[in-house]
Amino acid sequence: MTRGGTEKRRSAGWQRPGDRRRSGARGGARPGVVSATRGRSAARRGAARRRAGGRGTGLAPGRGRGLGLRPSWSAEDLTSGSYDDVLNADQLQKLLYLLKSTEDPIIIERALVTLGNNAAFSPNQAIIRELGGIPIVGNKINSPNQSIKEKALNALNNLSVNVENQTKIKVYINQVCEDVFAGPLNSPVQLAGLRLLTNMTVTNDHQHLLHSYIIDLFQVLLTGNGNTKVQVLRLLLNLSENPAMTEGLLSAQVDSSFISLYDGHVAKEILLRVLTLFQNINNCLKMEGRLAIQPTFTKGSLFFLLYGEECAQKIRALVHHHDAEIKEKVVTIIPKI
C-alpha cells in the first residue's frame, strides 16, 4: 500500500495471449492483444489434422512454453492473428528478424502485435531483451504510420513490466513524451504512450526524466476526455508519491480550471484520484517538513490551487458526497487542509 492509501499500479496494459477481452473496458483499449476466437477453432482444426496425419500439422516441439510452427516459419505463421500459443526463443528470434527486415506496414503491425502479446509473459520479456529486441521495437515508434507507432508503444509497454527492460526502454522516454503531448488529443497513440509512461514510473528510478513535461501532463489532464484524464492521473499519482518530484509538481503552472476536478459531479474514477493526488503531495510535504515553512511557489502554480481557499471549500463539501469511498477519502484529507 502506498502513502495515498491506494496501491501503486502499473498501467493495465497486458494480458496473456488467448484471453478474451471486452472492448471498451475502463481506461481505454488494452494494448497488443489479439482476438482469440479464431485461435481456438484453428487449434481444433489442427488437432483434427494431427489425428488424420495431415501435413497441415508439422508442429515440432519448441523450447519453453510455445509450440513450434510449420517448418517454413513464414511471415504468415509468425504474425497470424489466430495463433494463440506462446512463441519460444527461436520463433521470437525469427519474428524479430522479420520485424527488422521487412518494410511491409501490414506485416510490421502484425509482428508488433504478436510480439506484444508474447511480451505479456515474464520469461519472454527477458528473452526478447537478450535477443536485442527492445531497440528493434523501439525504433518503430518513429514510424509516420500511427497504427505502427501505437503497436510499438503497446509492445514496449508490456516489455516495461520487467525492471531490467526499463533500463533499455528509458532512452525512448523523451520521444514518447513528444508523441504524447504533440500528437492528437485522446488518440490511440497518446493513450498508448501514457500507459507506457505510467509503467515506467511505477518505481522512482526514471521519474526524473518526466520533470520537464509536468506542465504538459496537466494540460492534457484538463483537455482530454474521461479515459485520457484517468490515464494521466495514474501517471501523476506515481509521481506524487515520490518526494523528489513534489517541488516540480507544485511549482508547475496549472490552469485554474483544475479546481473543477474537485466538484461533486465529477466521475468517481477521476474525483477519487485527484483527492489521492492532494493526499500524496501533502504527505510528501509533511515528510520533508515543508508545511511549516513559507513556500516559494509562485502564483498560478499547483501549490496555490491545491492550498487555496476555493479548493479547500470544494473538498470540505465532498463530505456530503453520495459515494461512501469518496466520503471516506475526504474525511482523511480534511484535517490536513
- Domain ranges within the chain, ordered by starting residue: 1-45+60-213, 242-337
Distance CA 30, CA 227 (A): 12
Distance CA 134, CA 168 (A): 7
- Of 224, 230, 226, 281, nearest to 251 by C-alpha is 281
Strand partners, 253: 301
What would the CATH number be for the domain defined by 1-45+60-213? Answer: 1.25.10.10
CA–CA distances in Å: residue 298 to residues 253, 287, 331 = 8, 22, 29
What confidence score (pLDDT) does residue 311 get?
96
Q: Is the dihedral of CA 259, 261, 262, 266 positive or negative?
A: positive
Joined together, the cell numbers standing for residue 292 give 511549516
Backbone angles phi, psi at 5, to 5 degrees: 80, 10
What confidence score (pLDDT) does residue 74 get?
65
Nearest-5° Cα angle at 146, 194 to 121: 55
N-terminal to C-terminal alpha carbon distance within the chain: 23
- Tens-digit pLDDT profile for the chain (337 aa)? 444 444 455 554 444 333 333 333 333 333 444 433 333 344 433 443 333 333 332 223 333 333 333 344 566 677 765 555 789 999 999 999 999 999 999 999 999 999 999 999 999 999 999 999 999 999 999 999 999 999 999 999 999 999 999 999 999 999 999 999 999 999 999 999 999 999 999 999 999 999 999 999 999 999 999 999 999 999 999 999 999 999 999 999 999 999 999 999 999 999 999 999 999 999 998 886 665 454 688 999 999 999 999 999 999 999 999 999 999 999 999 887 7
Crossing angle for the helix pair 268-287 and 324-333, to the nearest 10 degrees: 20
Please tell me whether the overall predicted TM-score, pTM, comes out greater than 0.85 for this model. no
CA–CA distances in Å: residue 161 to residues 53, 80, 105, 300 = 41, 25, 26, 36
Distance CA 137, CA 155 (A): 7
Q: For residue 286, give the 3-state DSSP assignment.
A: helix
Distance CA 281, CA 4 (A): 9
Q: What is the number of other CB atoms lying within 10 angstroms of the CB of residue 95?
A: 26
Chain center to CA of 182: 18
